[in-house]
């Protein structure tokens, strides 16, 4: 029996029309296939379209051109309610800024996605959330609020929230960007470990070479075009070659970019979905 790719993008493009009626091309001709258990890293400078690509992979947004397929089924043919349920069951989001609910305990934050579950998953949500927090080493912080926790602890809560429904696809947007190097390394080890145990696909957007190197496949997104890097091959100095020095140079160019207006819109949209507070259509929360 032939295995079905988990998520696939074919000829995907995304553009928006600006107030002056000019068109801004964000993504162009993206082809990408991700299987269960895969680990992919995508690097790119601010404004290259990384967050837009992540939103398309997570079915938060629809492409202007091309098609997105999930488990062999075209996403464009799915009605909104079904798409929300599919996302809620199968996709977990981990954000750079955590997007935890202020004033709510770690347990309440991790329980949140299960509030939209049904049957046993709903009624056992408190126990399930507790077990996941224990899994990430926060069993002693169940009642702590985000304001009472360190950055590393908040990110572990965010990971627990993303994984509490055992998603098939984990999308991590700069998951170590707000952390120091040591804490970030421990967070990525935890994310890798849990994803491997669940045979979940993990897609990480990062400007950190060390984080990118953890993945099995590596891509660079530049001016809306996605191209592969091969970290196992040395670079001869030709910028077109994709060895580790070339990737390192490309990452060094990124620095720690300030969020753009588009980045802010993407984060706000993702946070809205995460919190399940859509005024018209409450959704099953993916993370």
- What is the layout of strands, in order, in the sheet containing 65-70? 23-34, 7-17, 65-70, 73-74
End-to-end Cα distance, the chain? 32
Q: What's the pLDDT at 232?
A: 60
Domain ranges (residues) in the chain: 37-61+79-276
Let me know if domain 37-61+79-276 sits in CATH 3.40.50.10790: no
pTM: 0.78
**Contact (CB, 8 A) for 17 and 25:** no
- What is the layout of strands, in order, in the sheet containing 39-43? 91-95, 169-173, 201-205, 39-43, 217-222, 225-229
Write out 227-277 in H/E/C secondary structure.
Answer: EEECCCCCCCCCCCCCCHHHHHHHHHCCCCCCCCHHHHHHHHHHHHHHHCC
pLDDT per residue rounded down to tens, the chain (287 residues): 345 689 999 999 999 999 999 999 999 999 999 999 999 999 988 778 888 999 999 999 999 999 999 999 999 999 999 999 899 889 999 988 888 999 999 999 999 988 877 788 888 999 999 999 998 889 999 999 999 999 989 999 999 999 898 899 999 998 888 888 888 888 888 888 888 888 899 999 988 888 888 999 999 999 899 999 876 655 444 433 444 554 555 444 444 443 444 444 444 444 444 434 333 333 333 33
What pairs with residue 32 in β-bridges?
A: 9
Give 137: exposed, middle or buried? Use CB within 10 Å, 0-12, 13-18, 19+: middle
């Amino acid at each position: 029996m032939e295995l079905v790719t988990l998520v696939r993008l074919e000829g995907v493009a995304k553009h928006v029309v600006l107030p002056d009626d000019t068109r801004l091309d964000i993504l162009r001709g993206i082809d990408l296939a991700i299987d269960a258990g895969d680990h992919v890293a995508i690097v790119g400078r601010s404004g290259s379209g990384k967050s837009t690509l992540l939103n398309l992979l997570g079915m938060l947004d629809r492409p202007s051109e091309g098609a997105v397929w999930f488990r062999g089924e075209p996403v464009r043919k799915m009605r909104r309610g079904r798409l929300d349920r599919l996302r809620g069951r199968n996709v977990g989001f981990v954000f750079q800024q955590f997007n935890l609910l202020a004033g709510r305990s770690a347990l309440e934050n991790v329980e949140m996605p299960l509030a939209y579950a049904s049957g046993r998953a709903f009624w056992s949500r408190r126990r399930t959330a507790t077990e996941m927090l224990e899994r990430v080493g926060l069993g002693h912080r169940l009642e702590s609020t985000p304001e009472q926790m360190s950055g590393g602890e908040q990110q572990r809560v965010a990971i627990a929230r993303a994984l509490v429904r055992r998603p098939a696809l984990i999308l991590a947007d700069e998951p170590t960007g707000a952390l120091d190097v040591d804490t970030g390394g421990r967070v990525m080890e935890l994310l890798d470990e849990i994803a491997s145990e669940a045979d979940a696909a993990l897609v990480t957007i990062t400007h950190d070479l060390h984080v990118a190197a953890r993945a099995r496949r590596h891509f660079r997104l530049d001016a809306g075009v996605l191209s592969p890097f091969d970290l196992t091959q040395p670079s001869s100095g030709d910028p077109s070659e994709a060895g580790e020095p070339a990737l390192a140079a490309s990452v060094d160019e990124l620095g720690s970019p300030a969020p753009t207006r588009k980045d802010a819109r993407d984060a706000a949209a993702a946070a809205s979905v995460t919190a399940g507070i859509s005024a018209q259509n409450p959704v099953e929360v993916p993370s």
